[in-house]
Amino acid sequence: MGKTVSVKDLIRNKDKKNKLMLKAERTIPFILFALASISILTTVGIVSTLLYETFLFFREVSIIEFFTNTNMKPLSRVEPSFSILPLLTGTILISLVAMLVAIPIGLTTAIYLSEYASESVRKAVKPIIEVLAGIPTIVYGFFAFTFVTPILREFIPALQSTNALSPGIVMGIMIIPLVASLSEDAMNSVPKAMREGALALGATKLEVTLRVVIPAAISGIIASFVLGISRAIGETMIVTIASGSSKNFTFDITQSMQTMTAYIVEVTSGDAGAGTTAYYSLYAVAFALFIFTLLMNMFAGHISRKYREAY
């Protein structure tokens, strides 16, 4: 090396040395592709297993009955019968309660944090909210069963000790951080210039929030709702503990209900031997759950595309 090494030389030399780098650069796409394939193959594997076992189930139980019958007695010795309806209503009702709690509270929290709170408040509050997201669901289940239900029963005497309402509310509380945090991110990423444009027209802060920021952030906000709903539908522990296992076909949320996921837990941990119809029903329910979530996501994607405001 000479006495003076110019930056130019350094850069050039580095270029030459890095033949190896160049090779790596070429192979990296293949490695990435291989890794990406793993997730795709896993999905394909799971879905085809589901499909196959579901097919076996429907050889024994009529598909029409499965969707129209309202009796769910998988383990009955006398006359077992299978129906998705009680589980479907259970899942939908509990998720609905959860979203009725999570969406308004989550969204207002997001609005407050993104539009009204000062920087210091935001910095203090956000981590606290995110702690909520880190609590194990079993704790929430316990909380619903031993704390929320007794309190609710003070006000609603008809409430059963296991019911759909209490786990719904607690599940909603669990989902608040998800909705709040993701909606806040979406609102925060709306450029400041847009807010200024509206304020300069004489809009109040609320008008800016409702008519500029939220519409501009709507796809992110809807995405947060969808993730929330998906979590509600997929949530198992809270409902297993606090909602009991009655396979009631009812719309009365003061009663015990079972969700699809809770059913799967119950039957897997119970005494349905491999190869029995009850065992195969797990797959049918899981498959229904899969389709249900898929439809949910597609619907949300559609809504979010329809109202998207690109900037």
Partner 1 sequence: MSSLSISTELPLKKETTEQVNKTVVYDTKNLNLWYGNNHALKNINLPMYKNEVTAIIGPSGCGKSTYIKTLNRMVELVQNVRISGEILYREKNIFDKEFRVEELRTRVGMVFQKPNPFPKTIFDNIAYGPRIHGIKDKKILKEIVEKSLRGAAIWEEVKDRLHENAYGLSGGQQQRLCIARCLAVEPDVILMDEPTSALDPKSTLKVEELIQELKENYSIIIVTHNMQQAARISDKTAFFLNGEVIEYDDTDIIFSTPSDKRTEDYITGRFG
State both tokens at 71: 């009796």
Interface with partner 1 (CB under 8 A), residue from 203, 265, 296, 303:
203
309 binds partner 1 (CB under 8 A): yes
Residue 105's CB: how many other CB atoms inside 10 A?
16
Q: Which stretch binds partner 1 (CB under 8 A): 17-25, 100-108, 168-176, 201-209?
A: 201-209
CA 231 to chain centre: 3
Tell me whether residue 1 or residue 200 sits nearer to partner 1 (CB atom).
Answer: 200
Which three-class secondary structure state does DSSP give residue 73?
A: strand
- To the nearest 10 degrees (0 to 180), the angle between helices 260-269 and 85-111 is 120
Kindly write out the interface string for residues 99-128 of this chain, putting x where it contacts partner 1 by CB under 8 A and - elsewhere: -------------------xx---------
Residue placing its CB nearer to partner 1 in the complex, 89 or 114: 114
Q: Which is nearer to partner 1, 9 or 309 (CB)?
A: 309
CB 84, CB 285: distance < 8 Å: yes
Residue 184 · residue 278 · CB < 8 Å: no
We find the least distance from the C-beta atom of residue 218 to partner 1, in angstroms, to be: 10
Left, alpha or beta for 202 (phi > 0: left; psi -120 to 50: alpha)? left
Closer residue to partner 1 in complex, CB, 7/193:
193
The correct pick among 28, 191, 291, 302 for binding partner 1 (CB under 8 A) is 191
Closer to partner 1 at the Cβ: 191 or 270? 191
Q: Return the residue of 5, 215, 295, 302 that touches partner 1, per CB under 8 A.
A: 215
- The type of residue at 65 is E
Q: Say which residues have a Cβ less than 8 Å from residue 113's Cβ, sequence separation at least 6.
A: 121, 122, 125, 126, 180, 184
Contact set with partner 1 (CB under 8 A): 118-119, 191, 193-194, 196-204, 207, 211-212, 215-216, 309-311
